[in-house]
Amino acid sequence: MSLANCCWPTISSASGAPTRPTRRRRAIRPPAAHPEPVVELVTIPAEQPAGLAVVEIREHGVTVGDADYRVCELCHLGVIEHVRVDPPFRRRGLATRAITKLLTDWPNYSWSTSPINDHRALCFWKSLDWPDPGTLGTPYACIHMRQSDDRIS
Structural domains for the chain: 39-148 (3.40.630.30)
> Distance between CA 118 and CA 76 in Å, rounded?
28
> Distance between CA 31 and CA 118 in Å, rounded?
42
Which of 15-24, 33-42, 90-99, 126-135 is modeled with the greatest confidence? 90-99
Written as one letter, the residue type at 113 is: T
Cβ-Cβ contacts under 8 Å for 150 (sequence gap 6 or more): none
Angle 56-46-128 (CA atoms, 0-180°, nearest 5)? 50
Mean predicted confidence (pLDDT) in 96-114? 96
Asked if residues 72 and 145 have their Cβ atoms less than 8 Å apart, the reply is yes
Asked if residues 20 and 10 have their Cβ atoms less than 8 Å apart, the reply is yes
Between the alpha carbon of residue 25 and those of residues 7, 32, 80, 146, the distances in Å are 19, 20, 60, 73
* Percent over 70 (pLDDT), the chain: 75
Q: Report CA 148 to chain centroid distance, whole Å.
A: 30
Whether the full predicted model's pTM is greater than 0.75, yes or no, is: no
According to the model, what pLDDT value does residue 61 have? 93
Asked if residues 19 and 13 have their Cβ atoms less than 8 Å apart, the reply is yes
Higher pLDDT pick, 112 / 3? 112
